[in-house]
C-alpha cells in the first residue's frame, strides 16, 4: 500500500520545514491542541493518550494559498527512543522503519474542494481514504487516514502491533475529536525584523568566542541559516548551502549556520559528511529574543553591520536564498 500522505507531502513540498520545538509533550499531558489559523481544534482519543509508542504531531503548515496540512505520525518505539532518535537523526537508522504517518487534516479554503485540489496533483490521493469532517467560514476540512499498512505491521516489534492496528483503525475516534472554528488570520511574526540589527556574542563548536561583528564584517551580505541536527530538511540542504557559500565567496558574501540544539558532536559529523565549509556556531540565547522561531530552517539576510535586509525565508529553499541575494545585490 502506498504511503499517500508522504506522497502528498512530496508533491506540495510541505516537508521543507520542521517545527522549531521538536519534542512534543506526551498525549497524557494534553487536553487538546488548537490550530486557530487552520480553523480547528483536536482532542485526542484515549487510545492516543495511553499509547506505549509515540503519537507525534508532524506540524501544521499553510502549504499553498488557502490550503493547510496538519499531520500526525506513529512511532513504534518508546518516548526515550524517540527523543534519542531526534537528537541524533540518521535517515539510514533502523528507527526510520518504525515511523509511519497516521492521519492528517487537509483544510481547503477559497472555495476549493478536495476534488479540485486533488486534480492539481494528478488525482494522486485515493478518495476512499478521504472524508469531509467539517466546515467553518469559507474552509472545508477533510480527514485523511489510510488505515492499516501490512508492511509496516510486519516490520515493527510485535509489542507494538496490536497498538498500531488499533490506531490505524481509529478514524471515527479521530473525527469525533475534531471541532471547527472561524480561522484566525495570523500576523506576520517577522514584520519587525526589517531594518533590525542582529547582534550577539557566542562560542563556536570548539569553544572559541565569536561575535556577530566579526562574522558579518567580512561579507557584504551574510546568509544566516538557523537549523538543528534533528531537522531532516535542514540536513538535506547542507550540501547546497556549502555550494552556495563557495559561490558567494566570489561575490563578497557568505553563509553562516546557527545551531539551535545542544548536540555539537552530531553537528560536527554532519558538517564533515556534507562538505560544509562555512562557520557554524551554537545559537546564543539572544537569538530567541531577536526572532520568534516557529519553524526551521529559517534563513536571514544581513548586512555588514548585522542589519536585516530582507524578509526571512522559512523552509529549506536554497534556490530562493540565491534569488534573494541576487535582488539585494542588484543582479536582477
Angle value at C-alpha 71, between 225 and 85, nearest 5 degrees: 60
pLDDT at site 32: 82
pLDDT at site 29: 42
Burial 77-113 (b: 16+ CB within 10 A, else e): bebeebeebbbebeeeeebeebbbbbbbbbbbbeebe
* Higher pLDDT, residue 14 or 326: 326
Domain residue spans of the chain:
4-180, 191-328
User: Over the stretch 37-57, which tens digit does the pLDDT of each residue have?
Assistant: 899 999 999 999 889 999 988
User: Over the stretch 165-203, which tens digit does the pLDDT of each residue have?
Assistant: 999 999 999 999 999 998 887 777 888 898 999 999 999
pLDDT at site 202: 93
Put simply, whether the predicted model's pTM sits higher than 0.75 gets the answer no
User: Over the stretch 132-161, which tens digit does the pLDDT of each residue have?
Assistant: 999 998 899 999 999 999 999 999 999 999
pLDDT at site 331: 60
Is 10's pLDDT higher than 90?
A: no
pLDDT-derived band at 25 (thresholds 50, 70, 90) equals very low
CATH class of the structural domain 191-328: alpha beta
User: Over the stretch 74-126, which tens digit does the pLDDT of each residue have?
Assistant: 999 988 887 777 666 554 455 668 899 999 999 999 889 999 998 887 888 88
Secondary structure of the chain in the HEC alphabet?
A: CCCHHHHHHHHHCHHHCEECCCCCCCHHHCCCEEECCCCEEECCCHHHHCCCCEEEEEEEEEEECCEEEEEEEEECCCHHHHHHHHHCCCCCCHHHHHEEEEEEEEEECCCCCHHHHHHHCCCCCCHHHEEEEEEECCEEEEEECCCCCHHHHHHCCHHHHHHHHHHHCCHHHHHHCEEECCCCCCCCCCHHHCCCECCCEEECCCCCEEEHHHHHHCCCEEEEEEECCCCHHHHHCHHHHHHHHHHHHCCCCEEEEEECCCCHHHHHHHHHHCCCCCCEEECCCHHHHHCCCCEECEEEEEECCCEECCCCEECCCHHHHHHHHHHHCCCC
User: Over the stretch 112-132, which tens digit does the pLDDT of each residue have?
Assistant: 999 999 888 788 888 999 999
pLDDT at site 23: 41
Q: Please give the average per-residue pLDDT across 256-267, as a whole number.
A: 91
* Higher pLDDT, residue 91 or 208: 208
All three cell numbers of 184 = 484566525
Closest CA to 152 of 15, 2, 45: 2
pLDDT at site 3: 41
Amino acid at each position: 500500500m502506498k504511503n499517500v500522505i508522504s506522497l502528498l507531502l512530496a508533491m506540495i513540498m510541505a516537508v521543507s520545514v520542521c517545527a522549531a520545538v521538536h519534542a512534543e509533550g506526551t498525549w497524557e499531558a494534553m487536553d487538546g491542541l488548537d490550530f486557530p489559523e487552520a480553523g480547528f481544534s483536536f482532542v485526542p482519543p484515549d487510545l492516543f493518550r495511553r499509547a506505549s509508542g509515540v503519537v507525534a504531531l508532524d506540524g501544521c503548515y499553510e502549504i499553498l494559498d488557502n490550503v493547510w496540512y496538519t499531520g500526525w505520525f506513529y512511532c513504534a518505539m518508546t518516548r526515550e527512543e524517540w527523543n534519542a532518535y531526534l537528537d541524533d537523526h540518521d535517515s539510514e537508522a533502523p528507527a526510520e522503519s518504525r515511523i509511519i504517518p497516521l492521519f492528517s487534516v487537509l483544510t481547503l479554503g477559497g472555495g476549493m474542494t478536495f476534488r479540485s485540489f486533488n486534480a492539481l496533483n494528478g488525482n494522486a490521493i485515493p478518495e476512499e481514504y478521504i472524508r469531509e469532517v467539517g466546515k467553518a467560514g469559507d474552509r472545508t476540512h477533510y480527514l485523511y487516514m489510510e488505515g492499516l499498512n501490512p508492511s509496516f505491521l510486519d516490520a515493527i516489534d510485535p509489542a507494538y502491533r496490536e497498538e498500531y492496528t488499533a490506531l490505524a483503525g481509529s478514524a471515527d475516534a479521530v473525527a469525533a475529536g475534531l471541532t471547527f472554528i472561524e480561522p484566525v488570520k495570523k500576523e506576520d511574526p517577522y514584520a519587525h525584523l526589517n531594518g533590525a540589527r542582529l547582534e550577539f556574542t557566542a562560542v563556536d563548536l570548539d569553544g572559541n568566542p565569536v561575535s556577530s561583528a566579526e562574522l558579518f564584517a567580512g561579507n557584504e551580505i551574510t546568509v544566516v541559516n538557523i537549523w538543528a541536527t534533528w531537522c531532516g530538511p535542514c540536513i538535506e540542504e547542507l550540501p547546497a548551502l556549502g555550494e552556495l557559500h563557495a559561490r558567494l565567496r566570489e561575490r563578497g558574501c557568505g553563509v553562516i549556520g546557527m545551531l539551535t540544539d545542544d548536540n555539537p558532536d552530531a553537528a560536527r559529523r554532519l558538517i564533515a559528511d556534507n562538505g560544509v565549509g562555512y562557520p557554524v556556531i551554537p545559537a546564543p540565547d539572544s537569538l530567541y529574543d531577536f526572532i520568534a522561531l516557529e519553524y526551521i530552517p529559517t534563513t536571514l539576510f544581513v548586512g555588514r553591520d548585522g542589519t536585516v535586509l530582507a524578509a526571512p525565508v522559512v523552509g529549506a529553499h536554497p534556490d530562493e536564498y540565491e534569488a534573494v541575494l541576487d535582488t539585494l545585490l542588484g543582479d536582477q
